[in-house]
Amino acid sequence: MKVACIQMDNLSLDPDQNYRTVSERIEEVAASLRPDVITLPETWNTGYIPREGLDQASDTNGERTKRLLGALSRKHAVNIVGGSVSDRRDGGIYNTTYVFDRQGECVFRYDKIHLLSRFGENVAYRAGNTFGSFLLDGVPCTAIICYDIRFPEICRAVAEPPVKMMFVSAQWPKSRSEQLTAFLKTRAMENEIFLVANSSTPPNRQGQNRGGSAIVAPRGNVLVSADSGQDVIFADLDLAEVDEEQMRRPVWADRRPELFR
């Protein structure tokens, strides 16, 4: 499966420009690389929790996001893991991932479960309380958002076989850049699946983001990664590696979940 991550900046409280940028970048990547899956970073429509104006800048019920990404996925016959957007619905704002198949259908929605209280995410957003998996070209996949990756419980829960790929959208700060790489490698190894992480770049968050998007194989080796600039990373993944690794080290068969509930 050929996967392309669009590492891009996003302007705080300028959704019109951000939607234009996403449209242009997806058009370019779909035409030039012809991937099976395109991914985006976290909260690309509003930037990272602006202190004022988040309500007005957020999408409503995912309508604008679904209209744009659904049309692009259908036009280019490509799956799109839409990073995440600030999404206003049910009287609150959620940090939400939408996923689209090649026909432009929205096949998955996930609201970020773990909200970083230190930076006020729990004040700006409502936490989600459900998770799950979805199919892209018949391949079982799952998705989480940024801070979620620090919680092995959710990563283990969503990665359970037959899942083969975990997508992570992020706005990861450069001051903890080495931690992101460590988390990605660890989650890939302990769950024996592919990790596809897409983080945003400066100038978002006053230059505090680090980029560092990466694709990691089930054995923890980084197949491709980006530096801190605007970039597109691309890899052609052999999903048979998941089955091979899980047969070589039968972690899932040998675990004893009944002891930890």
Q: How many Å apart are CA 99 and CA 38, to the nearest integer?
A: 10
pLDDT tens-digit map of 218-238: 999 999 999 877 889 999 999
Mean pLDDT over residues 79-83, rounded?
98
Confidence of residue 17 (pLDDT cuts 50, 70, 90): very high
Predicted local distance difference test score (pLDDT) of residue 203? 56
The pLDDT tens digits of the residues spanning 114-149 come to 999 999 999 999 999 999 999 999 999 999 999 999
Q: Would you call 112 a catalytic residue per the annotation?
A: yes
Q: Model pTM?
A: 0.95
How far apart are alpha carbons 104 and 222 in whole angstroms? Answer: 30
Give yes or no: 63 in active site. no
**Residue 194 pLDDT:** 98
Q: Residue 178: which pLDDT band, with cuts at 50, 70 and 90? A: confident
Structure tokens at 109: 């929605």
Q: Is the model's pLDDT at 202 over the cut of 70?
A: no
The answer on pLDDT for 211 being more than 90 is: no
Check residue 209 and give its pLDDT.
Answer: 53
pLDDT value of position 183:
97
pLDDT at 9: 86
Residue of 66, 106, 112, 121 marked active site: 112
Residue 155 catalytic? Answer: no
pLDDT at residue 204 is higher than 80:
no
- pLDDT-derived band at 50, boundaries 50, 70, 90: confident
What pLDDT score was predicted for residue 261?
Answer: 74
Cis link prior to 162 (omega < 30° from 0)?
Answer: yes
The closest of 41, 259, 39, 257 to 157, measured between CA atoms, is 257
Residue 207 has pLDDT above 60, yes or no: no
Of the listed 5, 106, 141, 146, which one is catalytic?
146
Would you kindly state where each structural domain of the chain is located, as residue ranges? Answer: 2-252
DSSP conformational letter for 111: E
| Helical pair 63-76 and 15-33, crossing angle rounded to 10 deg | 20
Q: What is the CATH number of domain 2-252?
A: 3.60.110.10
| Helices marked H in 98-176 | 121-124, 152-158
